[in-house]
Amino acid sequence: GENVEQHPSTLSVQEGDSAVIKCTYSDSASNYFPWYKQELGKGPQLIIDIRSNVGEKKDQRIAVTLNKTAKHFSLHITETQPEDSAVYFCAANDSGGSYIPTFGRGTSLIVHP
Partner 1 sequence: ETGVTQSPTHLIKTRGQQVTLRCSSQSGHNTVSWYQQALGQGPQFIFQYYREEENGRGNFPPRFSGLQFPNYSSELNVNALELDDSALYLCASTPRGLEGADTQYFGPGTRLTVL
Which stretches of the chain bind partner 1, using CB under 8 A? 6, 32, 34, 36, 41-46, 49, 89, 91, 93-94, 98-106
Of 29, 21, 18, the residue nearest 88 (C-alpha) = 21
- Cα dihedral sign, 16-21-61-42: negative
78 Cβ contact list (under 8 Å, min separation 6): 18, 61, 63
Q: How far is the CB of 27 from partner 1 (least distance, A)?
A: 14
Q: How far is the CB of 16 from partner 1 (least distance, A)?
A: 28
Residue 9 or 18: the one with the smaller Cβ distance to partner 1 is: 9
Q: How far is the CB of 74 from partner 1 (least distance, A)?
A: 17
Residue 17 or 59: the one with the smaller Cβ distance to partner 1 is: 59
Task: Determine the 3-state secondary structure of 6 from DSSP.
Answer: strand
